[in-house]
Chains A and B, each alone.
Chain A
Amino acid sequence: MSDMQFGLMIRGQFPQEEDMRKRFDEMVEQVRLIDKLGFASLTKGMHYSSSPMQVFNQMVFHSRMAAETKNLRHNFGIILLALHKPLEIAEQLASLDVMTNGRVIFGAALGYREVELAAFGVKRKEIVRRLTENVDAIKRLWTEDSVSMDGTFFELLDASCSVKPIQRPHPPVWIGANADPAIERAARIGDCWYVNPHNRVDTIRNQIDVYKRALEKLDKPFPTEFPGRRECFVAASREEAIRLCKPYLAKKYEVYHAWGQDKVMPEGDNNFDVDFDDLIKDRFFLGGPDEVAEQIIKYSHETGINHHVFSVQWPGMPQSLAMETIQLLAEEVFPKVREGM
């Protein structure tokens, strides 16, 4: 089992006062490095109205970054799909799939922040229907020449996707999900569940059972590509790793807590407002190279995840630390994981 894939998530979130052009140049440096080091994918998330953080728009980021990559897949991880219209997303992603010779991954999830829902004129009670209908419409637009579909919030009337994606039948559809009903939905509408980064291992193991039962009920096989995102930081030793990353990682989870991310997570594992030691326990890959390799191997065995997407940088963390972690991962951790699997 050697076809384990590793990807990098670039959050692209920076404190208000920072020069975003400089930060972008640094991200280009990271992306060129991971493309060269054999990472499988580059992931960028989507958030609007991100104050107190600055954030690059996902579609623009990936499209511009495509000029820097030869091998990396571009993972839209994830698109807040309930906010958007299917024809827009179908055509934008297909355009980028053409421009990257078939390297786009379509990640999608519900979204939960009130400020985003209101700004897009979306009511909370509508979001599940919007997501489900949008995924259905996008798949049809990618695979049929002319689509007629009467959605609740859109109507396709002999509509066509102006350009078809290169990947056939269509780019992979990864569905992000935190709560059990969302995981069952991922089994139904997605090519795979894109395992969220925030839960403890024990919670995820329970959720994988939910996912497997849902797949069985639908008579669908377990996906050949099973991706998960995880926070990750590597340094010479565990003490060193914690010392270096704690100020930034702890801060990030304070912001998540303020946004209400933890409230949509399962009972018993839905509070980020805890001490750092409690927060990191079974939640992040953190430590020296050997230790992190063991954590990844154990986690992969326990979950079946074979495409790991790591975030290694949190707002405020300097470029040098991110570059060092990327190097350590590629040179000292990934070979050990591949060997150990």
Chain B
Amino acid sequence: MADIQLGLMTRGQFPQGDDMQLRFEEMFEQIRLADKLGFSCITKGMHYSSWPLQDIQMVPYLSRVMAETKKMRLNMGIVLLALHKPLDYAELVATMDVLSGGRIIFGAALGYREVELKAFGVQKKEIVRRFTENIEAIKRLWTEDKVTMKGSFFELDEASCSIKPLQKPRPPIWIGANADPAIERAAQIGDCWYVNPHSRNETLYRQLEVYKRALDAADRPFPKEFPMRKEVFVAETREKAIELAKPAIGLKYKVYHSWGQDTVMPEGDNNLDLDWEELLDDRFVLGSPAEVCEQLLDLHETLGVNHIIASVQGAGMPQSQVLEALYMLGEEVLPNLKNA
């Protein structure tokens, strides 16, 4: 019997025209509340060129908000690692780990948007190699004093990580993955697969088998911590939760669809340009606190996930509703996830 951890993802994405300083103050308020209520982590995603939404960059954001938290872990969920250089992120993440007292989770995934790849001078055919080599280099930089490694796009020549992470041997590495080959890669190079929030449950049941087979093939045990992200809409009643979800889901998924997120998802479950009613179909956690609790426990039983990271603020959702949802999750749902 172990606890199911419940984390909070603050997307930090807001429509053009919103006052980002005001939005940022609101996110601070959410984070301080989540820390007090016993949420496990604060999660921030990474996107560049986020038009038509505004977004705050992950690294400055998590580095700044760590000062507002005492207990929560800080989840970089996820770094688009194929765009970056390993020495840069090894040192960034290690510094964050030291300054937060060892509370960093390093999440990484490939990235897929053309505008991002081009802006970083990366070709689509290179991304898997860049990603895999970067993970290897970062692990080595964190654990070895001097690293010599000739990558395809970088060369470490007796390079050192200027500061070593506080967590030993190193911070956990969560690999975000949508497609089957990416899940197999997560089994090979990550500490765990960080289950994506966009797929239907039936798809995930199948992919869990893909993951387990890949772990077996790599002779690795099932991870102790198995995390998943989910959109969570909680209100007094299911009807109110649906009302809450409508505008938020509609806008957000239209943007994802226009970015091409769904084209990297598995066949038969790769069209996010649907009516919101269809999107509800077991893709989200939604309902009264009791129903939400039941759905989270169900995810734990059927998929084995024991760390669920909830995005509660759909694009355009006002602060008052977000805080209300956090209170409900913290006071009515979290206690029932202990000793699940």
Query: Residues of A with Cβ closer than 8 Å to B?
Result: 20-21, 24, 47-51, 53-57, 59-64, 66-68, 83-88, 91-92, 94-96, 98-99, 101, 114-116, 118-121, 145-146, 153-163, 166
5 interchain residue pairs of minimum CB distance: A67-B67, A63-B63, A51-B160, A57-B95, A160-B51
A265–chain B nearest beta-carbon distance, Å: 24
Is residue B320 within 8 Å, beta carbon to beta carbon, of the partner chain?
A: no
Interface residue B118 (Cβ < 8 Å from any Cβ of A): yes
In the complex, which residues of chain A have a beta carbon less than 8 angstroms from the beta carbon of B121? 85, 153-155
B185 contacts A by Cβ under 8 Å: no
Which single residue of chain B is at the shortest CB-CB distance from A145?
A: B51
Most chain B C-beta atoms within 10 Å of own C-beta, residue among A47, A64, A92, A161: A64
Whether the Cβ atoms of A96 and B60 lie closer than 8 Å is yes
Q: Is the CB of B99 within 8 A of A156?
A: no
Residue of B nearest to A68 (CB): B67
Query: What's the least CB distance linking B54 to chain A, in Å?
Result: 5
Give the CA-CA distance A20 to B162 in the complex, in Å: 11
In the bound complex, residues from chain B placing their C-beta under 8 Å from that of A50 are 160, 162
Shortest distance between the CB of A118 and any CB in chain B (Å): 4
Output the least CB separation between A155 and chain B (Å).
Answer: 4
Closest to A141 in B: B49
Task: Please pick, from B67, B153, B163, the residue contacting A20 in the complex, using a CB distance under 8 A.
Answer: B163
Q: B137-170 vs A: 1/0 string, CB under 8 Å?
A: 0000000011000000111111111111010000
CA distance A92 to B61 in the complex (A): 9
User: What residues of B have a CB within 8 angstroms of the CB of A63 in the complex?
Assistant: 59-61, 63-64
Chain B residues with CB below 8 A from A145, complex form: 51
Q: Which of B112-126 contact A (CB under 8 A)?
A: 114-116, 118-121
Could you list 24 examples of A-B contacts with CB < 8 Å?
A49-B87, A49-B159, A54-B163, A54-B164, A55-B162, A55-B163, A56-B99, A60-B95, A63-B59, A64-B67, A64-B99, A85-B83, A91-B57, A98-B20, A116-B87, A118-B155, A153-B121, A154-B118, A154-B120, A155-B121, A159-B48, A159-B49, A162-B51, A162-B56
A160 touches B50 (CB 8 A): yes
Given contacts A92-B60, A118-B154, contact A67 B160 (CB under 8 A): no
Q: Which of A49, A62, A68, A161 has the most CB of B within 10 A?
A: A49
Do B166 and A64 touch (CB < 8 A)?
no
B interface, CB within 8 angstroms of A = 20-21, 24, 47-51, 53-57, 59-61, 63-64, 66-68, 83-88, 91-92, 94-96, 98-99, 101, 114-116, 118-121, 145-146, 153-164, 166
Q: A88 contacts which chain B residues (CB < 8 A)?
A: 48, 83-84, 120
Residues of B within 8 A of A161 (CB): 49
Interchain CA distance A198-B67 in the complex, whole Å: 35
Cβ contact of A95, chosen from B56, B114, B146, B155, cutoff 8 A: B56
Query: Which residues of chain B are within 8 angstroms of A101 by Cβ–Cβ distance?
Result: 21
CB of B159 within 8 A of CB of A59, answer no
Which partner residue on chain B sits nearest A160 by CB separation?
B51
Quick check: A59 and B92 within 8 Å, CB to CB?
yes
Residues of B within 8 A of A166 (CB): 21
Which listed residue, B64, B85, B166, touches A119 by the CB 8 Å rule? Answer: B85
Closest to B100 in A: A64
The residue on A at minimum CB distance from B61 is: A95
Given A21-B166, A85-B120, are A119 and B95 also a contact pair (CB < 8 Å)?
no
| Chain A residues within an 8 Å CB radius of B158 | 115
Cβ contact within 8 Å between B48 and A87: yes
Q: Within the assembled complex, what's the spacing in Å between the Cα atoms of A160 and B54? A: 10
Distance in angstroms from B22 CB to nearest chain A CB is 10
Contact B162 A49 (CB under 8 A): yes
Shortest CB-to-CB span from A211 to chain B, Å, is 31
